[in-house]
Structure 1
Amino acid sequence: MATKSNPFSFLQQVRSEVAKVTWPTRRETMISTAMVVVMVAVTATFFFVADQALGYGVGLLITAGR
């Protein structure tokens, strides 16, 4: 079971841990954001094309059965 510590000690530990974090630079953040936006656009385009192709194929199958 965890032992209770006072809030002041907890905040000191949090501050100590946050100081160890390596924060990304502004440039790294912008590059990562751009990569995410590009990948979302590529993925959205792929699924749009796949959906249209499958819809067209199902439409052909339905009309061929008449």
Structure 2
Amino acid sequence: MAKVNPGAFIRQVRQEASKVTWPTRKETLVTTGMVFVMVFLASMFFFLVDSGIQVAIKAIMSLGS
């Protein structure tokens, strides 16, 4: 791997950083909203699955007593 002096490294970092395209405020808000919606849907799914497993285990355990 070739060694690069600190000045050249800083120039390369600035050159690469100038290529970055940042999302607009609207894109950021829409993406954040979608993340919250997906987190809510996933939490509801796992809550329902957990509740179903709990009911099934209680039913199985009541058979033994």
- TM-score of the pair, normalised by structure 2: 0.94
Unpaired runs of at least 5, structure 2: none
Paired residue total: 65
* Deviation for aligned residue 1:3: 1.2
Give the Cα–Cα distance (whole angstroms) in 2 for the partners of residues 56 and 11 of structure 1: 61
Give the corresponding residue for 2:60. Answer: 61
Question: Gaps spanning 5+ residues in structure 1: where?
Answer: none
Quote the Cα distance in structure 1 between the aligned partners of 2:3 and 2:51. Answer: 59
Moved over 3 A (4+): none
Percent sequence identity over matched residues? 43
Tell me which residue corresponds to 1:33. Answer: 32
Note the aligned Cα RMSD (angstroms): 0.7
